[in-house]
Structure 1
Amino acid sequence: MFNLNDTMRYFLCPGRTDMRKGISSLCGVVHEKMNSEVKNGDVFIFIGSSRRLMKLLHAEDGGMVMYVKRLEAGRFKLPEYDPQSNSYPMEWRDLVMMVEGIQENPQQRLRSITLGRKNYLFCGNHEAAANMSVICSLLATCKAHDVTPRDYLNDVIARMPYHKKATHEELLELLPHKWKLQHPESALTKQEEEAGNRC
C-alpha cells in the first residue's frame, strides 16, 4: 500500500546512488552520507547516475518499505541542493512534481504569467487569446515532460488534418506525455547533451 503523504519530510540523497543497493544498503547510505536514520520516519530518495531510476526508502509500521520508479523516457529533474543539510530538502509537492517530470521555479512561473498576460492584450480578440493560451499550455507541458517543443509541434501540426474525425482516445495520444513514448529521439535533455558534446 502506497503510504506517503504531505505530512512527511522528504530528503534526496546528494550525488548518484548505486541503484543495485537494496533496503539494508540504502539504510547505510542514509546513516553515513546523510547523517540521518530511516527509522526517524522521514522519506529518503535516491537517484541513479542515469537519472531514470528512483528509489524511495521509508520506515512504516512493521518494517522498511522501498518504492521504485523507472522512467521509460526522459530524466528526473533535481531540486536545489542545500549544503547545510547535505541534502535536497523537499516537500510532498516537490516529490510529486519530480516524479511527474516537472521542475518548477516560482519566480519563473510568475514571470511567464506576467509576460503572457501582457502578450494576450495584443491577440486581437478573446478567441485568439484562448488559442494562444492553449499553445502556451502545450509548450509548458512539453518542457515538463522533457519533450522538445519544436519537434512536437512540427509533428502534431502536420498530422492534424488526418485527425478531423479522431476519437477522444486518439486525440489523447497526441498529448506530449503520450507522444514522447513514440519519439524518444525528441527528448529535450538528450538534444541538450548532444549539443553540448558538439561544442
Structure 2
Amino acid sequence: MISLRSGLRVLIASRPVDFRKGMNSLAALVSTTLGANPYSGDIYIFRSKRSDRLKIVVWDGSGMVLLTKILEDRHFTWPPVGDGAVHLSASEMALLLDGLDWTKVDQKPVKRPTKIA
C-alpha cells in the first residue's frame, strides 16, 4: 500500500522514458538519472512520449510497486521536458493522477508558531 506519510517526496522525471521499461529498469533510472534511492519509500513518476500515460514506482516497505495509468479522454499536465526531476506535493500528485492541471495550485506557506504556549 502506498501511504502519504509526513515528509513524503514525490518526483516526476522530466524527460519521457521508453514505456516498455518495467519496474526494475525504472528503479535503475531512479538511481542513475534522478540520483535518488528507489527503496526510500518516495514516489517516482515517469511520463511517456504520449501525454496520456504515466508510470509510478515506489517501495512500500515490503516490495516494489509499479502503477500504470492511461487517461481515456484527456492528457496529463507535465512539466517542461528537461534533465532532472520536478518535486510535487501530495495534493499536486493527486491532481496529476486525476488528469487535472496541478500547476494551477497556489501553494501558500504554512505559518509556524514562534512560541509554545
- The TM-score, its normalising length taken from structure 2, stands at 0.78
CA–CA separation in structure 1 for the residues paired with 2:55 and 2:73: 17
CA–CA separation in structure 1 for the residues paired with 2:70 and 2:52: 6
| AA at the equivalent of 1:3 | I
Unmatched tracts of structure 2, length 5 or more = 107-117
CA–CA separation in structure 1 for the residues paired with 2:105 and 2:67: 28
Q: 1:90 to 1:53 in 2, by over 3 A?
A: same
Give the corresponding residue for 1:144.
Answer: none
Q: For residue 39 of structure 1, give the secondary structure of its aligned residue in structure 2.
A: coil
Shift of 1:77: 0.2
Specify which structure has the higher proportion of strand. 2
Runs of 4+ in structure 1 over 3 Å off? 79-83
Percent sequence identity over aligned pairs? 21
Shift of 1:41: 1.5
CA–CA separation in structure 2 for the residues paired with 1:92 and 1:25: 25
Q: Which has the higher contact order (CA 8 A, sep 6+)?
A: 2
- C-alpha RMSD over aligned residues: 2.1
What does 1:46-85 align with in structure 2 at a 5 Å threshold?
46-79=46-79
Computing the radius of gyration from Cα coordinates, the structure with the larger value is 1
Post-superposition CA distance 1:21-54 (Å, at most 9, x none): 1110001111111111111121100010001111
Q: 1:54 to 1:36 in 2, by over 3 A?
A: same
Unmatched tracts of structure 1, length 5 or more = 108-199
CA–CA separation in structure 1 for the residues paired with 2:75 and 2:93: 14
Q: 2:98 aligns with which of 93, 100, 104?
A: 100
What does 1:1-199 align with in structure 2 at a 5 Å threshold?
2-5=1-4, 7=6, 8-79=8-79, 86-103=84-101, 104-106=103-105
